[in-house]
Structure 1
Amino acid sequence: MNNDGVVLIVEDDVDVLRAARLALQPHVQRIDTATSAGGLRDTLAATPYDAVLLDMNFTRGARNGAEGLDALAIVREVDPTLAIVLMTAYGGVALAVDSLKRGAADFVLKPWRNEALVEAVLGAMELTRSRRGSEARDLETIERQAIEKALARHAGNISLTASALGLSRPALYRRMSKHGL
């Protein structure tokens, strides 16, 4: 069991919300819930989630998934590294394919088997961690390359290099030490 992730479930049906929470609770550290996509930007900005389980329809009688796809776009805009699992009772192949093309990590049909739901959400959490790890490594690489180029441009002069990078000399020394330069 993983038990260290934070998941957001966005689902308008309180019974489905409760069922999803019960299925996921033994596998994650914390579960936050919302019954609509309203305020999604603020919710995502306030907490670094590891995965989102997102319903496709929030209006009574809606079956086309448009609301879920709109919410998916908001999540991707706020945090492109965050993996989303979409769920609906009215899914078809076309909707599943469309949601995956738009950036969903997985698609679950209601009613689900608990094992399948858990597997999809844990897989999404792992994808989020992988994306965030790659992003961090990319930033580390970019920082190291910027320091190397600035050092070369200034013939190893620490004062000129620090000034060019907008750093103090001690900050540059710390970063150089971090990157083994």
Structure 2
Amino acid sequence: MALAFLIVDDDPDVLKAAALALGGPQVQVDLAESPADIEARAAGCDAVLLDMNFALGARSGDEGLDALGRLKASEPELSVVLMTTFGGVSLAVEALKRGAEDFVLKPWRNEALEAAMMKAAEATRTRRAEAGLTLGEIERRAIVRVLASSGGNMTRAAAMLGLTRPALYRRLERHGL
């Protein structure tokens, strides 16, 4: 069974390193340089690896915690692993309190990162199964979220979902939207 991960970090080198560490024949990795539209980008993913700081010089982790909150509000079953260079025990505890599955410090050991993401993906799948969500329901939720965030702009929504407009229209019809 293939896995899908979203990695979100503003440093292209970190994105490349994480993609190499996590990618494989049974793993699809999507990369994003900012948490903008993270809810739509994470749709259908098994786990998200999310940096905590995106502004130059930021060390508080507030941006990552905000994105975590948005993700958990839009899809509570989705596991998020937070990462940062500037982290302490209090930040890790706060992240876990807000719903993060795990917390990883940069630089990481590839084996530890892979283990954290695999555990997170398994937790997501377990929660989805327990919630009775089918793949169709997950897709329907993703489409509704993206349409809302794009203001109903079908071209933008299709692009955010990685679909063509005709494919989006077929899915809208299939889900009665």
User: Which bin holds the TM-score, normalised by the shorter protein?
Assistant: 0.7 to 0.9
Alignment of 1:89-128 (within 5 A): 89-128=85-124
Distance 1:27 1:77, change over 3 A: farther
Q: For residue 109 of structure 2, what is the amino acid of its counterpart?
A: R
Shift of 1:28: 4.2
Distance in 1 (CA, whole Å) between partners of 2:92 and 2:26 is: 25
- Say if 2:49 and 2:83, in contact at 8 Å, map to a contact too: yes
Shift of 1:41: 2.6
User: Which position in structure 2 is the counterpart of 1:83?
Assistant: 79
Q: For residue 38 of structure 1, what is the amino acid of its counterpart?
A: A
Alignment of 1:15-164 (within 5 A): 15-26=13-24, 28-44=26-42, 47-136=43-132
Q: For residue 5 of structure 1, what is the amino acid of its counterpart?
A: L
Q: For residue 134 of structure 1, what is the amino acid of its counterpart?
A: E
Q: For residue 65 of structure 2, what is the amino acid of its counterpart?
A: L
- Say if 2:4 and 2:28, in contact at 8 Å, map to a contact too: yes
Distance 1:109 1:27, change over 3 A: farther
User: Which position in structure 1 is the counterpart of 2:147?
Assistant: none
Distance in 2 (CA, whole Å) between partners of 1:28 and 1:69 is: 29
Q: For residue 90 of structure 2, what is the amino acid of its counterpart?
A: A
- Say if 2:6 and 2:41, in contact at 8 Å, map to a contact too: no
Q: For residue 118 of structure 1, what is the amino acid of its counterpart?
A: E
Q: For residue 7 of structure 2, what is the amino acid of its counterpart?
A: I
Shift of 1:40: 1.4
Q: For residue 88 of structure 2, what is the amino acid of its counterpart?
A: G
How far does the alpha carbon of each residue in 1:91-144 deviate from its partner, in whole angstroms, 9 at most, with x for none? 00000000000000000000000000000000000000010011018xxxxxxx
Moved more, 32-41 or 49-58: 32-41
| TM-score, with structure 1 as normaliser | 0.71
| TM-score, with structure 2 as normaliser | 0.72
SS in 2 for 1:26: coil
Please identify the structure whose Cα radius of gyration is greater. 1
5+ residue gaps in structure 1?
138-181
Ranked by relative contact order (alpha carbons within 8 Å, sequence separation 6 or more), the top structure is 2
How far does the alpha carbon of each residue in 1:27-73 deviate from its partner, in whole angstroms, 9 at most, with x for none? 742111100011213323xx311000000000010001000000000
Distance 1:108 1:134, change over 3 A: same
Distance in 2 (CA, whole Å) between partners of 1:27 and 1:132 is: 24
SS in 2 for 1:30: strand
Give the share of equivalent positions with the same residue, in percent: 53
- Structure 1 outlier segments of 4+, above 6 Å: none
CA RMSD for the aligned pairs? 1.3
Q: For residue 33 of structure 1, what is the amino acid of its counterpart?
A: L
